[in-house]
Amino acid sequence: MFELDKPFPRLYRSILDSIADGVYTVDLNWRVTSFNKAAERITGISNEEAIGRKCFEVLRSSMCEDQCTLKQVMEDRKTVPNRPIYIIRADQKQIPINMTTGILRNAENRIIGGVMSFRDLSDINTLHKELQKQHTFEDIISKNKQMQKIFAILPQIAQSRSTVLIEGESGTGKELVARAIHNSSFQAKGPFVAVNCSALPDNLFESELFGYKVGAFTDAKKDKPGRFDQAHKGTILLDEIGDISLAVQAKLLRVLEQKVYEPLGSVEPVRTNARVIAATHHNLYQMVQNGNFREDLYYRINIVRLVLPPLRNRKEDIPSLIDHFIERFNVLNGKEILGVSQEALALLMLYDWQGNVRELENAIEHAFVMCREKLIRREHLPERFLPLDKKIKDPPSRVLKDIEKEAITQALERNQWNKSKTARELGIHKNTLRRKIIRFNVS
């Protein structure tokens, strides 16, 4: 029998019941031997129901199955403090708690079981969510100062009709910001049309953007509206604007200056009222300095300029972004993953995220496929987060990079440095090829 009940039952009970945290004890068979008032309140299970039952039947926590801290405490003889976990309450609601687990010894210092104290974090989580709302604009999440400044001016930007230039590395959320501007603008009910300029070879740019008339060329069997037509009364995002050729830049300049264009095969100018947002992962000013981007076009699109910082410079956003993606993938996959383990979070915080938020989103998506528990742990993350001994024996990544660089250089040489042909030969996007050329410093 449990000794708490023997010598000073009343005294112990009243001390335990006066504590605001839930406290319960178990014997060496994991049977609950005491359960204080706060434990009853937090779990919704009465003392009478709890006593004598196995602790995992009472708490039903996210770590009961394979990460029982009591087991760990018994093995290591050390207290495990402040472990954030979830338990299932009597009304089947999942609630977050913070659990500390220690060993329970008797007067002769003999181990007789374990003692657990836990705190209900629901209110803190609700407050955290409230706070989170202050750190979002539409679907964009960030508590970073630079991003907060952008959030503060986005409503004004949205309600003006000025052209906006959004700069930032790939995956930093340029399209997301462009959509948020559109959604908060007067033309929000109109269409949002995104055009990836880097995917359009020069000869297709005009027909894609401005459309064509029947007979404009051999295959033009009927009129085809262009992207500017589709964006009528809405917004057109010219993504990767830094990747268009100087010839195409001249055509675009005319549309931006005069708000008119002619579909191919037509002499009748069409007026556009689409609001233009341009985005690029390049530093356009630098491109102007190097003679690769027209200065007049630069000034025409650079009426309002937003620069999105890379994720490695706003690591404070990583935990909220993880929560955001977990919430989204739970809905999409019908799962109920609660969060990431502390170890996994530490690894995600340490990583430098060259692919920015998109890479983080992909890492969480990968973890969702691998994870069959409630918490995403290190082993569920993509291989680059695993300890060396768990990785499949791949050649080191430095060597892989060298091989890739060599393959790209050789393909470029074979194609007389024509990037479109090279990209086609390698089976990759022209834009991807451009980025790899820069990343691997191919010259």
Ligand X SMILES: Nc1ncnc2c1ncn2[C@@H]1O[C@H](COP(=O)(O)OP(=O)(O)OP(=O)(O)O)[C@@H](O)[C@H]1O
Cβ nearer to ligand X, comparing 116 with 277: 277
Cβ nearer to ligand X, comparing 206 with 361: 361
**Out of 31, 83, 227, 281, the residue judged to bind ligand X by CB under 6 A:** 281
For the bound state, the minimum distance from the C-beta of residue 170 to ligand X, rounded and expressed in Å, comes to: 3
Cβ nearer to ligand X, comparing 31 with 324: 324
Cβ nearer to ligand X, comparing 62 with 431: 431
Q: Is 318 in the site for ligand X (CB under 6 A)?
A: no
Cβ nearer to ligand X, comparing 170 with 230: 170
Nearest to residue 412, comparing CAs of 376, 391, 436? 436
Q: Is 242 in the site for ligand X (CB under 6 A)?
A: no
**Out of 42, 70, 357, 412, the residue judged to bind ligand X by CB under 6 A:** 357
The alpha carbon of 55 is separated from its chain's Cα centroid by a whole number of angstroms, namely: 36
By CB under 6 A, the count of residues binding ligand X is: 19
Cβ nearer to ligand X, comparing 199 with 426: 199
For the bound state, the minimum distance from the C-beta of residue 141 to ligand X, rounded and expressed in Å, comes to: 4
Of the listed pieces 172-180, 219-227, 375-383, 409-417, which binds ligand X according to CB under 6 A? 172-180
Place of tokens 């995220």: 353
* Cα 233 to Cα 418: distance, rounded to the nearest angstrom: 38
Of the listed pieces 6-14, 91-99, 171-179, 344-352, which binds ligand X according to CB under 6 A? 171-179
Residue nearest to ligand X (CB): 173
Residue 172 burial (CB count, 10 A): 26
**Out of 171, 226, 309, 339, the residue judged to bind ligand X by CB under 6 A:** 171
Residue 221 burial (CB count, 10 A): 8
Of the listed pieces 43-51, 105-113, 164-172, 221-229, which binds ligand X according to CB under 6 A? 164-172
Cβ nearer to ligand X, comparing 140 with 278: 140
Q: Is 142 in the site for ligand X (CB under 6 A)?
A: yes
Cβ nearer to ligand X, comparing 206 with 239: 239
Cβ nearer to ligand X, comparing 353 with 385: 353
Nearest to residue 192, comparing CAs of 133, 232, 249, 142? 232
Distances (CA, A) of 279 to 26, 148, 184, 242, 338: 60, 19, 18, 8, 35
Secondary structure (3-state) at 212: strand
For the bound state, the minimum distance from the C-beta of residue 201 to ligand X, rounded and expressed in Å, comes to: 19
**Out of 84, 168, 211, 234, the residue judged to bind ligand X by CB under 6 A:** 168
Q: x/- site string to ligand X, residues 110 to 139, per CB under 6 A? A: -----------------------------x
Residues 176-215 that bind ligand X (CB under 6 A): 176
* Cα 398 to Cα 67: distance, rounded to the nearest angstrom: 36
* DSSP label of 394: P
Classify 322 in phi/psi space as left (phi over 0), alpha (psi -120 to 50) or beta: alpha
**Out of 40, 120, 229, 361, the residue judged to bind ligand X by CB under 6 A:** 361
Nearest to residue 361, comparing CAs of 341, 332, 389, 388? 332
Nearest to residue 314, comparing CAs of 262, 373, 360? 360
The torsion defined by the Cα of 295, 249, 169 and 407, in degrees rounded to 10, comes to -120
Beta bridge partners of 167: 280, 307
DSSP element (H, E) containing 196: strand 192-196
**Out of 69, 172, 187, 235, the residue judged to bind ligand X by CB under 6 A:** 172
Furthest-apart CA atoms within the chain: distance in Å: 101
For the bound state, the minimum distance from the C-beta of residue 330 to ligand X, rounded and expressed in Å, comes to: 15
Burial class of 153 by CB neighbour count within 10 A (0 to 12, 13 to 18, 19+): exposed
The alpha carbon of 269 is separated from its chain's Cα centroid by a whole number of angstroms, namely: 43
Residues near ligand X (CB under 6 A): 139-142, 168, 170-176, 239, 281, 321, 324, 357-358, 361
